[in-house]
């Protein structure tokens, strides 16, 4: 142990840490709950605690387990630790839950129904596997959408429930639940036959192994004498059990987290784990890290005021020895275009003050909101990069829709045609596509001409020929209109007839909901382009006019990672990052809080935590904004400022330089966390309604109030504008 005995006395630690951080480092023998506020130095505390264990407590690195939220965080922790200790600590177990569990499963494969060389299936491979199961057993994709099934399977696995663990509770064998359970059982069987695990399996099998195998559990309890878990508020049930089974015996566990930054419930994370840690372990030492090293006092004052409205939380209040700084700006704009343009102007002014572009972030709730900012930044020739996502026009659902437009504009565009031939799924399989390509190559004609001459392809069966012919007729019909119909009308026709928005809206998968929002935003972009084009040329633009505009946006050089560029990202993707200046846009009810989260108190609180995360990313400058109107599809609606703004004292905001139209937070009769009821807001975006003729639909935009409101509604494959009084609310 001599190599680990370099002197680091308590004076050294005291000189490097504040009083609370020092407690985290030196209390190594009890269960420790570290409630680490944003920017409070939690990573530093973990690094010094590990150094303390190795140098002062003489603990071998391989007897320490540290679980981080990301691989990047694991690498950073190890590198900083080695720099501090000036020795390699490669035997330290540090990594994400998935990385740690994979190591355990490979070591312990003798106790498991798969071998050590198991494959790991990503989402695409999972879907491919399910498609084969559906085909073999005749399951209906419409009744049991694959994305929904995968989400449902994931939820059960996060609860540590395999098919054999799920009990019928009086359900009929022919019920929907029975069919789902059958799909789940077949899916799991296929995984095992393939010696494969999905990402949820990695956690599930590790938890089950530790729960039910005494030998394995005691082995890892003996090995991991000290356990540290970062971002504990983001753990699910399976992760909780893994930690508890390893650390529950010796109780030498330190968890670090912030319940005020718990924003991943849609991934299965359970806030309960951090809120009830003191019930799970004996004589817990709770330590609050409240000193913030990132943000100025006025930014922290707003953050504290916002999060204080949540009920389910450990009380804490961030403070800083940094200057008070500028108050956050709250600005109101006429619409989202002005919002993007004015924020772009403000970015240029910050740049002139010497702030690097990479130190400026624009945050928003949904990916679809990035489009107007991308356009504004392009116009201003400001480089930008999208963190945790792709550029708007590079997103799959947008590229799919653009491919239709390219094909209709140029029937010889084989690449675009290949992209859409079975998108959305219309039963044209890869074998049929390969035979089409072969025929086109052999006869030296375009792929579209091959499709037109499908009857001449002998290798194709009649069902395939029929489906291809139907696809051909669809394109031919649209192509006849493309040279005379306005671009907006053409795009809406394609979206509606393909049922793209309703296809994604009917899913429970958060990714699919985001895709629906992106498609609505695409139609919005065409509507805006059409307006500007008409003003300039006094005619409605055609598809041929619109496509070059898009090409100029997508053909720009990609922003390099090392370039000085603005960061655009959702609030979820901003977690763990910090910037000199932060803009949070779209602070409106139905955006933040999101419309999908407004009917549930827990969801409202998570949305408020999301807002809190955004605020606490800012070091010195924070700019918040909302709009008076916002375009949705080809109409406008008039949003209500976010209820979160009404909860805080207006004196927490100001504007200083005249660059922003200052807005006071909306005055409400009562500061409240209550759920917005149907009676408070009769019609709202995302609400399901029923029309006697058109059937069940989803509201896309609201113009006006009450029963006189003018609504844009998606009824499956068609859109309609209807006055509210002619509808019935869907009570489901």
- With residue 372 as reference, give the H or E element that holds it: helix 370-379
User: Which sign does the torsion angle of CA 98, 104, 110, 116 carry?
Assistant: positive
Q: How many residues does the chain have?
A: 732
Using alpha carbons, list the distances in angstroms from residue 595 to 513, 609, 683: 11, 16, 12
pLDDT above 80 (res 6): no
As separate numbers, helices (DSSP H) first and strands (DSSP E) second, the chain gives 27, 21
pLDDT above 50 (res 559): no
**If we measure between CA atoms, which residue out of 163, 122, 126 comes closest to residue 146?**
126
What residues form DSSP beta bridges with 386? 568
Give 115-144 as a DSSP string. Answer: -TT-EEE-HHHHHHHHHHHHHHHT--TTTS
Q: What is the arithmetic mean of pLDDT over 436-441?
A: 88
Q: What is the arithmetic mean of pLDDT over 593-606?
A: 84
C-alpha span between 654 and 113 (Å, rounded): 62
Contact residues for 496 (Cβ-Cβ < 8 A; gap 6+): 717, 718, 719
Greatest mean pLDDT among 56-60, 79-83, 298-302, 625-629:
298-302
User: Which sign does the torsion angle of CA 553, 558, 563, 565 carry?
Assistant: positive
C-alpha span between 309 and 672 (Å, rounded): 8
pLDDT tens-digit map of 253-312: 999 999 988 888 888 888 899 999 999 999 999 999 999 999 999 999 999 999 999 998
Q: What is the arithmetic mean of pLDDT over 363-367?
A: 91
Whole-number percent of the chain with pLDDT over 90: 41
Q: Report residue 671's pLDDT band, with 50, 70 and 90 as the boundaries.
A: very low
The long-range contacts involving 554-557, CB below 8 angstroms and separated by at least 24 positions, are 554/391, 554/393, 554/394, 556/378
Taking the chain, what is the end-to-end CA distance rounded to the nearest angstrom?
Answer: 66
Which 8-state DSSP code applies to residue 310?
-
Give 507-548 as a DSSP string. Answer: ---HHHHHHHHHHHHHHHHHHHHHHHHHHHHSSPPPHHHHHH
C-alpha span between 226 and 254 (Å, rounded): 8
328 exposure class (CB count in 10 Å sphere: 0-12, 13-18, 19+): buried
Whole-number pLDDT of residue 642 = 92
Q: In what order do the strands lie in the sheet with 695-703?
A: 718-723, 710-715, 695-703, 688-691, 728-729
Identify whether the C-beta of residue 343 lies closer than 8 Å to the C-beta of residue 625: yes
Residue 497, φ and ψ in degrees, nearest 5: -70, -30
- Residue 494 exposure: Cα atoms within 13 Å on the Cβ side: 32
Beta strands 360-364; 566-570: pairing state: parallel
Reduced to 3 DSSP states, what percent helix, strand and coil does the chain have, rounded to the nearest 5?
50, 15, 35
Whole-number pLDDT of residue 719 = 64
682 exposure class (CB count in 10 Å sphere: 0-12, 13-18, 19+): middle
pLDDT tens-digit map of 50-77: 989 988 888 899 999 999 887 778 888 8
Residue of 571 and 722 predicted with greater confidence: 571
- With residue 487 as reference, give the H or E element that holds it: helix 487-498
List, by residue number, the catalytic residues.
Answer: 42-43, 230-231, 261, 617
Whole-number pLDDT of residue 675 = 40
Q: Which regions of 130-280 does DSSP assign to beta strands (E)?
A: 196-198, 226-229, 253-257
Structure tokens at 262: 């718990």
Q: Tell me the average pLDDT of the chain.
A: 84
C-alpha span between 42 and 76 (Å, rounded): 13
pLDDT above 70 (res 660): no
**If we measure between CA atoms, which residue out of 703, 570, 612, 586 comes closest to residue 260?**
612
Whole-number pLDDT of residue 215 = 94
C-alpha span between 40 and 616 (Å, rounded): 11
Contact residues for 107 (Cβ-Cβ < 8 A; gap 6+): 116
Q: Report residue 665's pLDDT band, with 50, 70 and 90 as the boundaries.
A: low
Q: How many CB atoms lie within 10 A of CB 462?
A: 8
pLDDT above 60 (res 569): yes
Q: What is the largest CA-CA distance in the chain?
A: 87
C-alpha span between 442 and 446 (Å, rounded): 11
C-alpha span between 409 and 186 (Å, rounded): 44
Q: What is the arithmetic mean of pLDDT over 368-374?
A: 89
Residue of 284 and 512 predicted with greater confidence: 284
Q: What is the arithmetic mean of pLDDT over 317-335?
A: 91
Residue of 686 and 346 predicted with greater confidence: 346
> Is the backbone of residue 499 left (phi > 0), alpha (psi -120 to 50) or beta?
left
Whole-number pLDDT of residue 677 = 41
Whole-number pLDDT of residue 670 = 40
pLDDT above 50 (res 664): yes
pLDDT tens-digit map of 674-707: 343 444 457 877 788 887 767 777 787 777 777 7
Whole-number pLDDT of residue 531 = 85
Q: In what order do the strands lie in the sheet with 226-229?
A: 93-96, 64-68, 226-229, 253-257, 32-36, 285-289
Identify whether the C-beta of residue 586 lies closer than 8 Å to the C-beta of residue 403: no
Q: What is the arithmetic mean of pLDDT over 231-244?
A: 93
Residue of 681 and 731 predicted with greater confidence: 681
Whole-number pLDDT of residue 346 = 94
pLDDT tens-digit map of 165-199: 988 665 555 588 889 999 999 999 888 876 778 88
Give 76-105 as a DSSP string. Answer: HHHHHHHHHHTS--TTSEEEEHHHHHHHHH
pLDDT above 60 (res 552): no
**If we measure between CA atoms, which residue out of 644, 635, 560, 559 comes closest to residue 610?**
644
Q: What is the arithmetic mean of pLDDT over 555-584?
A: 77
Give 32-52 as a DSSP string. Answer: EEEEE-TTS-HHHHHHHHHHH
Whole-number pLDDT of residue 584 = 97
Whole-number pLDDT of residue 681 = 52
Using alpha carbons, list the distances in angstroms from residue 186 to 132, 151, 152, 465, 495: 11, 16, 14, 32, 35
Q: Which residue has the tokens 């696809």?
A: 471
C-alpha span between 108 and 115 (Å, rounded): 9
C-alpha span between 437 and 417 (Å, rounded): 11
Whole-number pLDDT of residue 288 = 93
Whole-number pLDDT of residue 31 = 94
Q: Is 423 helix (H, G, I), strand (E, B) or coil?
A: coil
Beta strands 196-198; 119-121: pairing state: parallel
């Amino acid at each position: 142990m001599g190599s680990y005995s370099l002197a680091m006395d308590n004076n050294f630690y005291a000189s490097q840490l504040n009083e609370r951080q020092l407690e985290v480092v030196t209390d190594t023998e009890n269960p420790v709950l570290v409630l680490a506020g944003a920017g409070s130095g939690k990573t530093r505390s973990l690094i010094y605690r590990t150094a303390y264990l190795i140098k002062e407590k003489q603990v071998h690195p391989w007897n320490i387990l540290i679980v981080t939220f990301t691989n990047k965080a694991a690498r950073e922790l190890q590198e900083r630790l080695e720099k501090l200790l000036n020795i390699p600590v490669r035997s330290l177990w540090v990594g994400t839950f998935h990385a740690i569990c994979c190591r355990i499963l490979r070591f312990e494969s003798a106790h498991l129904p798969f071998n050590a060389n198991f494959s790991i299936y990503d989402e695409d491979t999972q879907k491919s596997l399910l498609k084969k199961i559906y085909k073999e057993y005749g399951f209906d994709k419409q009744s049991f959408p694959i994305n929904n099934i995968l989400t449902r399977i994931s939820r059960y696995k996060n609860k540590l429930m395999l098919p054999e663990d799920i009990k019928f509770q009086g359900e009929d064998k022919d019920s929907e639940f029975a069919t789902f359970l059958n799909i789940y059982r077949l899916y799991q069987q296929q995984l095992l036959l393939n010696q494969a695990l999905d990402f949820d399996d990695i956690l599930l099998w590790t938890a089950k192994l530790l729960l039910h195998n005494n030998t394995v559990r005691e082995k890892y309890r003996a090995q991991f004498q000290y356990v540290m878990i970062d971002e504990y508020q983001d753990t699910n049930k399976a992760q909780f059990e893994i930690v508890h089974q390893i650390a529950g015996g010796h109780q030498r566990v330190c968890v670090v987290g912030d319940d005020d930054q718990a924003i991943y419930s849609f991934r299965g994370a359970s806030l309960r784990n951090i809120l009830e840690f003191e019930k799970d372990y004996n004589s817990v030492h709770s330590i609050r890290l409240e000193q913030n090293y990132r943000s100025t006092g006025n930014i922290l004052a707003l953050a504290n005021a916002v999060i204080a409205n949540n009920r389910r939380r450990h009380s804490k209040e961030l403070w800083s020895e940094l200057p008070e700084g500028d108050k956050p700006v709250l600005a109101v704009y006429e619409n989202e275009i002005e919002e993007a343009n004015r924020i772009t102007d403000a970015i240029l002014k910050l740049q002139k003050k010497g702030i690097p572009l990479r130190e400026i972030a624009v945050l928003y709730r949904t990916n679809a909101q990035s489009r107007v900012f991308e356009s504004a930044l392009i116009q201003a020739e400001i480089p930008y990069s999208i963190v945790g996502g792709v550029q708007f026009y590079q997103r799959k659902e947008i590229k799919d829709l653009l491919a239709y437009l390219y094909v209709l504009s140029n029937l010889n565009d084989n690449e675009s045609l290949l992209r859409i031939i079975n998108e959305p799924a219309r039963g044209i399989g890869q074998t049929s596509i390969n035979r089409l390509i072969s025929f086109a190559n052999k006869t030296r004609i375009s792929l579209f001409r091959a499709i037109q001459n499908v009857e001449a392809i002998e290798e194709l069966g009649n069902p395939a020929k029929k489906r291809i012919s139907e696809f051909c007729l669809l394109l031919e019909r649209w192509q006849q209109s493309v040279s005379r119909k306005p671009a907006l009308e053409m795009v809406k026709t394609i979206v509606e007839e393909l049922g793209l928005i309703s296809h994604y809206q009917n899913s429970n998968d958060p990714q699919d909901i985001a895709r629906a929002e992106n498609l609505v935003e695409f139609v919005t972009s065409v509507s805006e382009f059409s307006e500007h084009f008409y003003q300039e040329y006094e005619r409605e633009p055609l598809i041929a006019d619109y496509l070059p505009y898009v090409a100029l946006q997508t053909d720009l050089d990609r922003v390099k990672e090392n370039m000085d560029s603005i960061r655009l990202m959702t609030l979820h993707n901003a977690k763990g990052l910090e910037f000199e200046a932060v803009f949070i846009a779209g602070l409106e009810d139905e955006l933040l809080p999101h419309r999908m989260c407004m009917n549930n108190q827990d969801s409202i609180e998570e949305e408020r935590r999301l807002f809190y995360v955004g605020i606490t990313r800012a070091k010195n400058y924070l700019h918040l904004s909302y709009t008076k109107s916002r375009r949705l599809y080809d109409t406008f609606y008039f949003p209500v400022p976010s209820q979160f703004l009404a909860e805080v004292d207006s004196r927490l905001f100001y504007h200083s330089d005249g660059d922003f139209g200052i807005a006071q937070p909306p005055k409400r009769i009562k500061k409240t966390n209550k759920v917005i009821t149907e009676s408070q807001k009769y019609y709202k975006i995302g609400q399901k309604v029923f029309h006697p003729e058109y059937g069940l639909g989803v509201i896309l935009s609201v113009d006006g109030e009450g029963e006189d409101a003018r609504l844009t509604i998606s009824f499956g494959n068609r859109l309609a504008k209807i006055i509210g009084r002619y509808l019935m609310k869907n009570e489901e």
